[in-house]
Structure 1
Amino acid sequence: MDVPETVPAALDLAAERFAERAAVVDPALRLTFRELREQVRELAGFLLAEGVRAGDRVALNSPNTGHWVVAALAALHVGAVLVPINTRFTAAETRDVLVRSSASALVVADTFLGRDRLRELRAQGGEPTGTPVSGLPALRTVLRIPVEGAAAPLPRCADWAEVGDRSLPADRVDEAAARVRGTDPSDLLYTSGTTGRSKGVLSAHRQALAVADAWATCGRVDEADRYLVVNPFFHSFGYKAGILVCLLRGAAIVPVPVFDTRAVLELVHRERITVLPGPPTVYQSILDDPARAEHDLSSLRLAVTGAASVPRVLVERMQRELSFDTVLTAYGLTEAVVATMCRPEDDDAVVATTCGRPTAGFELRIAGADGRALPTGEVGEVLLRGPNTMLGYRDEPAQTRAAVDADGWLHTGDLGRV
């Protein structure tokens, strides 16, 4: 099946193909694919009514919940650029992202882990005058997501319950969605900043969907799957290899706001989870939990891991003790999302000692300090080239040229060998 060019088109197709199948399974919000599309269109109508237009940036600062899914898809539905914000950021770090992205709208949790992020932002800038948050002149709209429900009401911001009353008609929403093109920017993800100030990575709709499709193909994900997303939605793993994978394949999204081993065991048991990606520590903590034997984990079939060394014994234990039929490792980064991935037919040694083979149309080369390709087996910098390399770093052309050379190779800064 051809991959849709835009996320709005993918949502429309999912609502048609998987209409009454579960799309979002969350205690506060359980939706079929048809209902998901309805809620997305309603929130998209609210954003349009608030003046959000194609190309505007919509920031999203909230944990993994069904409301995050709706908010992200609504922003993309009107052609806006989604800007996910790390929920562990301080108010100063959040403000930095809002300033640098020139976000015109912010969708934010009422409270999460006991913190009211909007109140923290306002405390930094003083009482707002004319805009929802002082010192952020581009920010015109703030919408709060019900997460913990402990936040006191604040002026100059909307609550989720008001969305329906302030939404434009569906035909206006459909017109906006129809204008979105596959080459339009879909998201602006800020890197972790481990080697300096974080950079805003721009990707297009067709790129986000292409890497999600490649991931889903390697994992053989389909509408019978129920995908427990423990990776944060603000990260490309949770958003693109999570939400978008489920949208393309009709799998149910089961979000986890905060990883807790007992809660994950309960969800796998109760919701018959089949897909559970995550770093190796997730599986090790499940294996080590004494309550594991009290839960039925037989529904599990696919694990995708990486970002750390994966011992072969862990792969074997995951298959033997956690019922996984398939364990895959993968390699990626924000600028390319998923670049290499193992395949279901690979043996345990390949899964444990490699990151698989290139996927999503990527070429891979190992280069020396002079940029020339190194022979097989030698360690050098990992270079990637393909149609799903980032569009570039927002407002940083020099940084973009330094990262992607004249021949189109993305210099990852990571070391590897073939």
Structure 2
Amino acid sequence: MLRQITIGDLLDETAGRYPEKEALVYQERGLRYSFAQFQEICNQAARGFMSLGIQKGENIAIWATNVPEWVISQYATAKMGGVLVTVNTSYRTHELEYLLRQSESTTLLLIDSYRDADYVGMVREICPELANCEPGNLQSARLPHLKNVIYIGEERQPGMFLWRDLLERSAQVAEEERKARQQTLLPDEVINMQYTSGTTGFPKGVMLSHSNIVNNAIKVAECQRLGMEDRVCIPVPFFHCFGCVMGTLACVATGATMVPVTAFDPGLVLSIVEQERCTALYGVPTMFIAELNHPSFAERDLSSLRTGIMAGSLCPIEVMKNVVHKMGIRDITIAYGQTESSPVITQTVPNDSIERKVETVGRVHEGVEAKVIDPITGETLPPGVQGELCTRGYLVMKGYYNMPEQTAKTIDSDGWLHTGDLATVDEEGYYRITGRLKDMIIRGGENIYPREVEEFLYTHPHILDVQIVGVPDTVYGEQVLACIRVKPGETLTEQDVLSYCEGKIARYKIPKYIQFIDEYPMTASGKIQKFKLREYAIHAFGLPGAGSTETA
């Protein structure tokens, strides 16, 4: 049964049910809010946004790590009708300017910096007018829609409000006025906008409604059997659906406690899980790999862990087995989807067999349709035959912001969202994701699916992680490149890898090129950027196209 409720009303409902229960815990900062306290601070911030003259439907961008103000802003904007535009924490000036202009955001919240990125400096570079304007009166030549910049920090910044200013300004708006605004919001209206990574072409703003993400959060929680007694450690970034839908929203939907990690650090995650007795842990495969291989792992008491989600990219079988057996997360679930589907389409459940959990991405959520089609003819394929996965139902986005042509290419006239992912489905409805349409390697007429080769190489005892990428070849069109991370303390040679493959996989699937690397180029949401691995290899091996700027 789907719910027709806005995010603001959902928070009010949960706060009414569990007012004294812990809603939000930042163990790093000693910050703890009950649901009643969290509701109150969100209402206050909502009035603060309204005091700036922000109307229902205006776009409010946030560029920050998983700080408390991020999750407060998520619910505050949802209560006053602002559309929260989430900004990737790894963006730089060009990407930020594009997003703010394309989204027509009128307000930007930001922290000082992250890693080696000076956020404040970049915003000043794009908007030099900040140096001499009053907060709230920005008139930017490059960003004509942007009026308000709000700094999440203590030190006064020219032309910007401080977060505390926003909270203080809330006194200018009556609570009755905020309530009246919240009552005008409808479940089917857009309330969240997330930009796709843009690895091919310009990023697109995915428009998601209250109904899209509330119902997806509920289904995600149901698959984990989350309840008010659960405590969910959330080290995945809020700017991605994994953090702000599957994480914070799933907690509010069930009364579970949100236990975010401001920025991912494997040792910190293990410490927080142990000290806060978290019952659920989220992560992409690379995060779980880092935690399993952290020097302190063996000393940690992780016995409170019961469930969680591994998602965001294809989940290696060996990693999944280690999470179940070494971390003890017996009810771990695998979720699959994409931002355009709010995000989860399929998910395993706790009582699925270990084989189901390591070999599939589960079955479709209740209320969701899916099919596997021939990407050329559009014909629905029978079980066991590989094709493109399509989905339909409440979870399909409202479209790409100001991009009707791109929307029409992704959602067909019958309402099916075309994922671009290759998949098979078995007789019992369990899906296997076998790769991306665009990642498929065609070597001399033979189709090679990277996932298949990756799963084989994961069985090598010295391989920690591996990514298979297609690289150009003048004779065969493409060849196979293996980018390998070796387990700490182990050694591995190119010949070792080739010998391991010989006689076990078809010769045309054996990597022609092997690179040993320490880290993969990643998006801030933990997705490996295969197109960059391809670029590196083209130059490193002097392959065709090495002198051009063409990318995958």
- TM-score tier by shorter-chain length is over 0.9
Q: CA deviation at 1:158?
A: 1.1
**Distance between the aligned counterparts of 1:200 and 1:2, measured in 2?**
25
Q: CA deviation at 1:311?
A: 4.1
**Distance between the aligned counterparts of 2:311 and 2:413, measured in 1?**
30
Q: Deviations over 1:138-171 (max 9, x none)?
A: 112111113xx6xx52222111222332111211
Greater shift after overlay, 11-20 or 277-286? 277-286
Match of 2:384 in 1: 377
Larger radius of gyration: 2
Match of 2:163 in 1: 160
**Distance between the aligned counterparts of 1:164 and 1:63, measured in 2?**
20
**Distance between the aligned counterparts of 1:290 and 1:126, measured in 2?**
46
Instruction: Please tell me whether residue 40 in structure 1 is matched to residue 46 in structure 2.
Output: no
Match of 2:546 in 1: none
Please give the residue correspondences for 1:201-350 in structure 2 after superposition, counting only pairs within 5 Å: 201-336=206-341, 337-350=343-356
Paired amino acid for 1:366: V
TM-score, normalization by structure 1:
0.95
Please give the residue correspondences for 1:32-111 in structure 2 after superposition, counting only pairs within 5 Å: 32-111=34-113
Q: Deviations over 1:372-391 (max 9, x none)?
A: 11121111111111122011
Greater shift after overlay, 293-302 or 22-31? 22-31
Instruction: Please tell me whether residue 415 in structure 1 is matched to residue 422 in structure 2.
Output: yes
Tell me if the contact between 2:83 and 2:190 (Cα under 8 Å) persists in the aligned partners.
yes
Q: CA deviation at 1:280?
A: 1.8
**Distance between the aligned counterparts of 1:181 and 1:174, measured in 2?**
14
Taking only aligned residues, the RMSD between alpha carbons, in angstroms, comes to 1.7
Secondary structure of 1:106's counterpart equals strand
Identify the structure with bigger relative contact order (alpha carbons < 8 Å, sequence gap 6+). 1
For residues 45 and 132 of structure 1, do their structure 2 counterparts lie closer, same or farther at Cα, with a shift above 3 Å needed?
A: farther
1:402 pairs, out of 393, 400, 409, with 409
Secondary structure of 1:417's counterpart equals strand
User: Which structure 2 residue ranges, 5 or more long, are not aligned?
Assistant: 426-552
For residues 308 and 387 of structure 1, do their structure 2 counterparts lie closer, same or farther at Cα, with a shift above 3 Å needed?
A: closer
Q: CA deviation at 1:131?
A: 0.8
Q: CA deviation at 1:281?
A: 2.1
**Distance between the aligned counterparts of 2:89 and 2:366, measured in 1?**
29
Greater shift after overlay, 156-165 or 80-89? 156-165
Tell me if the contact between 1:226 and 1:251 (Cα under 8 Å) persists in the aligned partners.
yes
For residues 310 and 398 of structure 1, do their structure 2 counterparts lie closer, same or farther at Cα, with a shift above 3 Å needed?
A: closer
**Distance between the aligned counterparts of 2:290 and 2:167, measured in 1?**
42
Paired amino acid for 2:99: V
Secondary structure of 1:127's counterpart equals helix
**Distance between the aligned counterparts of 2:193 and 2:322, measured in 1?**
38
Instruction: Please tell me whether residue 5 in structure 1 is matched to residue 5 in structure 2.
Output: yes
Count of paired positions: 414
**Distance between the aligned counterparts of 2:353 and 2:300, measured in 1?**
28
Tell me if the contact between 1:132 and 1:142 (Cα under 8 Å) persists in the aligned partners.
no
Q: Deviations over 1:21-67 (max 9, x none)?
A: 11111144321111111111111111101011110001011101221
Q: CA deviation at 1:315?
A: 3.0
Paired amino acid for 2:210: H
TM-score, normalization by structure 2:
0.72
Taking only the aligned residue pairs, the percentage that are identical comes to 33
Tell me if the contact between 2:7 and 2:78 (Cα under 8 Å) persists in the aligned partners.
yes
Secondary structure of 1:70's counterpart equals helix
**Distance between the aligned counterparts of 2:268 and 2:75, measured in 1?**
27
2:182 pairs, out of 161, 177, 181, with 177
Tell me if the contact between 1:339 and 1:360 (Cα under 8 Å) persists in the aligned partners.
no
